[in-house]
Amino acid sequence: MQRDYQPDLNGSDEIYGQEELIERAKGADALLVTVTDIINRDVIARLPGSIRMIATFSVGYDQIDAAAALERKIAVSNTPGVLTNATADIAILLLLGAARGAGNGEHAIRQNTWQNWAPTGFLGRDVTGKRLGILGMGRIGQALAKRARGFDMEIHYHNRRRLPAQEEAGAHYHDNLKSLLPNCDFLSVHAASTPQTRGIINSETLQELPPGAIFVNTARGDLVNDDALITALQSGHVGAAGLDVFNNEPDLDPRYRTLPNTFLLPHLGSATLETRNAMGFCALDNLDAFFAGKPPPNPVTP
């Protein structure tokens, strides 16, 4: 980037507010942003006329009002594909960590409160042979299914469209969420954040899960109604949750920290050196193509 562009870099990784984003955009031709940069309709309306592209360092682009960008003829691109494996790996980590109470075990070691081995100590739940429901069977959902088959899990999924048989690989398709949920000993969410999916995990949908089901989220925090999930965890209807994303992160609902049946990570889905490098180069590929007069490889807007 420094070789090919004249970048104004955010060296401290501070989160810019709207006013600073608009101010820093002056004189620039493009913005390279990430999930913490909220580019809503108001910000887009106030961006200087020099801005012709917004490239986001993420696969999700719900922080950008793409429709408003299109109205101003500002191109938007994202970085899909390159973070698939890393995020699916984290989903497996959350699934195992929540099922086996790994957070409680590590806490006992670190706090030196582990007194002795006991037949009923730190009891968790088996993963092998259980039913895994996947909400959103895109790249990451399919990569998770591939990994879960190594644990002989029975795969069920709900998606906007049914996959071809070869991609489905024996998974059971449900054409609606209500049909999927009763078949989930584990439920892992991989849907995009849209007006249709925000809050889709709520008291009604959670009630459809079998008692003691385990919930995993590596997608977006706003797909979940926190009050509903916390209530279900407190009652035991949801046996445990493995969460990598949260509403209002990093200011997540503090009640999650107090629940013994949660396994929590700080949005690590794509956090490997290899993946973050690949995301950065993907974002640059989009910028390079656009300014060369070619279609970006990963367009969000036409």
pLDDT score at 269: 96
Average pLDDT, the chain: 97
In a domain, 9, yes or no: no
Contact between residue 214 and residue 241 where contact means Cβ atoms under 8 Å apart? yes
E strand or H helix that includes residue 216:
strand 213-217
pLDDT score at 132: 98
In a domain, 302, yes or no: no
pLDDT score at 271: 97
One domain, residues 74 and 90:
no
Question: What is the set of active-site residues?
Answer: 220, 249, 267
66, 4, 56: which is closest to 33 by C-alpha?
56
One domain, residues 121 and 258:
yes
- What's the CATH code of the domain at 201? 3.40.50.720
- For 72-124, the pLDDT digits (tens) are 999 999 999 999 999 999 999 999 999 999 999 999 999 999 999 999 999 99
- For 147-204, the pLDDT digits (tens) are 999 999 999 999 999 999 999 999 999 999 999 999 999 999 999 999 999 999 999 9
**Does the pLDDT at position 37 exceed 90?**
yes
- For 223-252, the pLDDT digits (tens) are 999 999 999 999 999 999 999 999 999 999
Q: Which residues contact 82 (CB under 8 A, 6 or more apart)?
A: 275, 278, 279, 282
Domains: count for the chain: 2
In a domain, 50, yes or no: yes
pLDDT score at 302: 80
In a domain, 300, yes or no: no
Q: Which residues contact 62 (CB under 8 A, 6 or more apart)?
A: 192, 193, 194, 220, 222
Q: How far apart are CA 157 and CA 146, in angstroms?
A: 13
Contact between residue 211 and residue 184 where contact means Cβ atoms under 8 Å apart? no
One domain, residues 149 and 257:
yes
One domain, residues 68 and 88:
no
* Domain residue limits at 181: 84-264
Contact between residue 143 and residue 84 where contact means Cβ atoms under 8 Å apart? yes
One domain, residues 205 and 221:
yes
In a domain, 107, yes or no: yes
